[in-house]
Amino acid sequence: MGRKLDPTTYVKKGPGRKSRKQKGAETELAKFLTDGERNKLQEAMGQESDDDDDDKGKSGDEDMDEDDTVQANIDEMDKFVLPGAEEIAKEGVLLVDLQTIHQRIKDNVDVLSHFATKREEGKERTEYLSLLKKDLSTYYSYNNFLIDKLLDIFPVSELIDFLEANEIQRPVTIRTNTLKTRRRDLAQALINRGVNLDPLGKWSKVGLVIFDSSVPIGATPEYLAGHYMLQGASSFLPVMALSPQEGETVLDMSSAPGGKTTYMAQLMRNTGVIVANDASADRLKSVVGNIHRLGVTNSMICNYDGRQFPKVMGGFDRVLLDAPCSGTGVISKDPAVKTSKDESDILRLAHLQKELILAAIDSVNAESPSGGYLVYCTCSIMVEENEWVVDYALKKRNVKLVQTGLDFGKEGFTRFKERRFHPSLKLSRRFYPHSHNMDGFFVAKLKKFSNTVPTTAVDKGKVDVILDLINHNALSSVVETPLVLYKTNILLLSLFQTEKRKPSHLSQLCHRRPQPTGSQPKASVRNQPGRKRQRSLRWMVGL
């Protein structure tokens, strides 16, 4: 083998063959010259040698200068520079290579991660973030609203991992139906049919992950016989957190398509009662089909709006609420979420979720000897649909957060932007596709400790002032607007509800303020200004 040369190392070489040949000829010539002529020849040879050394020194300096220039140019090229307004305007008209945008995203993230040392002189962080949002929306096909929301949840570097994970399908997972078979026997039967699989993980005793299969995994004889259920790994988590016990009465408030209901049935070994409810009659068909296929015999199906369920039935030992959500945790399954959601969708869903969680809590029996638990979960990662909703429930009902019993997952937020949530929300768990290789999910477990509904605290000092004004017939001089009048009524009604007293002197509050002195009353009392407003105020306060 030849000697390996380092191209970055300069190796000084000796004289070439031509130089050696010329030097040998001069040596032979010197033999035939006189001493004087020989000295002159040697002086001439020495002069040429000095000139050659000078030339080599100059060329060496020039090479070093050239190398320094090249290195400086490389460093300049490596430094990320924000594009100007003209470049951005051109990108809005011309098609831009996605590879170029992807490289710019990586460079931008690197600068934002080391902003103090790598930022361009005179540029603010907001300028880099603005460009990053635009590039992320273009490259990953998200709307601006969702990118802004995700940047509030994740650090910049982690956001890229989350977006990349959403471009990849999650592994196919199945849940063994232990009412009919064991996981070991099921795995062997599927392997014999050409299915490549492994246990899901140490955290699950019934899950299997499918890598590839020579047969349709949803049409094998084992599937048709009800030996397993096609179910995402994240859907195992709320049932494991709820941990229903044998002989209990359990409510699955939003049960379709039946994966969680049938999992609860196998944990309860077909004992007790499971009420599988869903607001959609069409979706309940899949629940019925799965219950029959998997051999579940302790479940009953009903079709009610979950918000009205406490009026229908109550006293459950445990309740599972998988609330309707925006689906921002399952974008890999439904890419339409990237562009179809906006602020109004999130707020509308959050309002529905707050109503559902209060109804679910009211359906739980706090005096249950073995239960009194509620598990709230969503396949969304939005704080407005998760921590915000649970924090609302903690304020409105006599419940507290407890450990979910799940050994992995990230803690829920206790503070988000300017909002501060209850410190116990760190007991809730978040799951992400880039961290846990499963759909994005949120799980919180609550324990109900009283069946009474707490009333809103009332400032009795303010009430005493108002009552004193009423007793001295001086309230009309204080109440200036209908809004103040309405708020006063609500304040007093809250007090009367708390102390269970009859609101005997609220009628004075709803009287219209007297006309100023000197004004002429209308001919008809019915047409007096403010008469309609008084009636609406009486209706609002229940008089």
User: How far apart, in Å, do the first and last CA atoms of the chain sit?
Assistant: 104
254 is in an annotated binding site: yes
370 is in an annotated binding site: no
Nearest-angstrom CA–CA distance, 156 and 135: 13
433 is in an annotated binding site: no
368 is in an annotated binding site: no
305 is in an annotated binding site: yes
DSSP class of residue 113 equals: H
- Three state DSSP letters for 380-424: CCCHHHCHHHHHHHHHHCCEEEECCCCCCCEECCCEECCEECCHH
Task: Report, as residue numbers or ranges, the catalytic residues.
Answer: 379
| 373: Cβ contacts below 8 Å, ≥ 6 apart | 242, 317, 318, 319, 364, 402, 445, 446, 447, 448
- Three state DSSP letters for 419-464: EECCHHHHHCEEECHHHHCCCCEEEEEEEECCCCCCCCCCCHHHHH
Nearest-angstrom CA–CA distance, 192 and 176: 17
322 is in an annotated binding site: yes
Dihedral over alpha carbons 43, 46, 50, 56 (to 10 degrees): 150
Q: Which tokens hold the place of 431?
A: 């799951």
- Residues pairing with 446 in the sheet: 374, 401
Residue 352 burial (CB count, 10 A): 17
**Nearest one of 404, 401, 407, 409 to 440, comparing CA atoms:** 409
Q: Residue 289: CA atoms inside 13 Å, Cβ hemisphere, count?
A: 10
Q: Which tokens hold the place of 138?
A: 């273009």
Which contacts (CB < 8 Å, 24+ apart) does range 463-471 have?
463/491, 463/492, 463/495, 466/491, 466/492, 467/505, 470/505, 470/508, 470/509
Q: How many residues does the chain have?
A: 543
Beta strand residue intervals within 256-298, DSSP E: 273-277
Q: Which tokens hold the place of 472?
A: 């001295």
255 is in an annotated binding site: yes
Which contacts (CB < 8 Å, 24+ apart) does range 392-395 have?
392/354, 392/357, 393/354, 393/357, 393/358, 393/361, 393/446, 394/422, 394/424, 394/446
- Residues pairing with 429 in the sheet: 411, 443
396 is in an annotated binding site: no
Q: Known binding site for S-adenosyl-L-methionine: residues? A: 254-260, 278, 305, 322
Q: Known binding site: residues? A: 254-260, 278, 305, 322
